[in-house]
Amino acid sequence: MAEPTTDRISREKRGQTLLIGLNRSDKRNAFDLDMLNQLCLAYGEFERDDEARVALVFAHGEHFTAGLDLAKVAATFAAGWHIPAGGCDPWGVFGGPRVSKPVIVAARGYCYTIGIELMLASDINLCSSDTRFAQMEVQRGILPFGGATLRMHQAAGWGNAMRWLLTGDPFDAAEAYRLGLVQEVFSPEDLLPGALALAERIAAQAPLGVRATLASARQAVQQGEEAAIANLHPLVTTLMASEDAQEGVRAMLERRPGDFKGR
């Protein structure tokens, strides 16, 4: 892997939240190879950082992302792009490990193609009222290959998904909310503060319980309900023996918020 020439992805720790910023604003945050690799590495850093409980992905500049910089990445994808060593797969379709902790995406301005697919692979999605979405691969002679064909119909229903996947037409924040692609729509100035408040709310919960909840829900989607049901008892048995579970009981009896350590 070539060494990155610039910082395409920023990282900033705020409490127990890791802010991951798309940082190629002069190109409307279009993904070139460096940016793809750096985002994977940032996800890997998040996974390994025991102090970081939630990741918040946002964008520097006016736009979340204009999608892939096809002129820069087409040859690499045609040959077969792989997640870099030490990275995690933000899209969950390129063969690398996935993070086991919550990821929130906060989009604004343009959110095209691989940006939508990044949201579909994340856990909670927010956007500003001026966000404009488009999954336009069919207009370029290809198909969405970052997960939209797998996940958009799960979120929105078959007909709703095909309406946008098969035309490549743009849609707005109100439609994204109707589809279930985003869970909340904010004014542009309130987007990042609102996203941070949500991240902090999640980070205040018991991290082992949060990760187990994510793991169970993902198992139900990926392996089916029977597999997830079979794993519920082992998960809760393990959690009941944790220090955090004991702290949860004490906090309930003492009528105070829990002080969870992830143990």
Reported as a single tens digit per residue, the pLDDT across 168-222 is: 999 999 999 999 999 999 999 999 999 999 999 999 999 999 999 999 999 999 9
Under the banding of pLDDT at 50, 70 and 90, the label for residue 250 is confident
Residue extent(s) of CATH 3.90.226.10 domains in the chain: 9-203
Length of the chain equals: 263
CB 192 within 8 A of CB 216: no
Read off the pLDDT band of 6 (50, 70, 90): low
pLDDT at position 16: 96
| Cα 224 to Cα 154: distance, rounded to the nearest angstrom | 14
Closest residue by Cα to residue 47 from 119, 100, 102:
100
Residue of 221, 118, 90, 116 lying closest to 175 (CA atoms): 116
CATH of 9-203, one of 3.90.1150.10, 3.90.190.20, 1.10.10.10, 3.90.226.10: 3.90.226.10
Average predicted confidence (pLDDT) for the chain: 93
The answer, yes or no, to whether residue 165 has pLDDT greater than 80, is yes
In this predicted structure, the answer to whether residue 3 has a pLDDT above a threshold of 60 is no
114 φψ region: left (φ > 0), alpha (ψ -120 to 50), beta (else): alpha
SS3 category, 155: helix
Confidence of residue 149 (pLDDT cuts 50, 70, 90): very high
Largest Cα–Cα separation, the chain: 61
Rounded distance between C-alpha atoms, residue 160 and residue 171, angstroms: 12
Query: CA-CA distance, 155 to 77, in Å (whole number)?
Result: 26
Q: Tell me the pLDDT band of 2, cut-offs 50, 70 and 90.
A: very low
Q: Which residue has the higher pLDDT, 101 or 256?
A: 101
4 pLDDT more than 50: no
Structure tokens at 165: 């996947």
Q: Is pLDDT larger for residue 231 or for residue 126? A: 126
Residue 161 confidence (pLDDT): 98
Q: Where in the sequence of the chain do the CATH 1.10.12.10 domains occur?
A: 207-253
CATH architecture of 207-253: Orthogonal Bundle (1.10)
pTM score: 0.93
